[in-house]
Amino acid sequence: MTFRITEEMVQHAFDILHKADHAKARATFNYAEKRLKRVLAMVMQDSAEKSSAAKETEAYASTAYGTALEQFKIVSERYYELQDEREAASAIIEGWRTQQSDLRAAGRVG
């Protein structure tokens, strides 16, 4: 039994690649990543600790950083889900292209 990639599967893959969801998720991911660094810097700046290492330790343990980290996790999960979906769609299209090439080659040889 041979698996065939159908035109409907290819169309669905193209639809996935043309959705704006990934661009929005990527922008949100980049923003959340920068926000995480900003929260860390702000907490370190407000720290009364003397050494940089102590300020950093306090910042990583802070509620503000923990909240930002939790938000970053949620944003990251969505971004990587959409990234995986796009990679799967690209693989389907590449598989279809190979399938079409094989069919053309079989037509010429046979």
- The pLDDT tens digits of the residues spanning 2-53 come to 789 999 999 999 999 999 999 999 999 999 999 999 999 999 999 999 999 9
Mean pLDDT of the chain: 94
CA distance 5 to 97: 9
Please name the residue that has the structure tokens 């292209």.
Answer: 97
What is the residue-wise DSSP string for 34-103? HHHHHHHHHHHHH---SSHHHHHHHHHHSHHHHHHHHHHHHHHHHHHHHHHHHHHHHHHHHHHHHHHHHH
- The pLDDT tens digits of the residues spanning 24-37 come to 999 999 999 999 99
- Say what the pTM is: 0.80
Domain ranges of the chain: 30-92
pLDDT of residue 20: 93
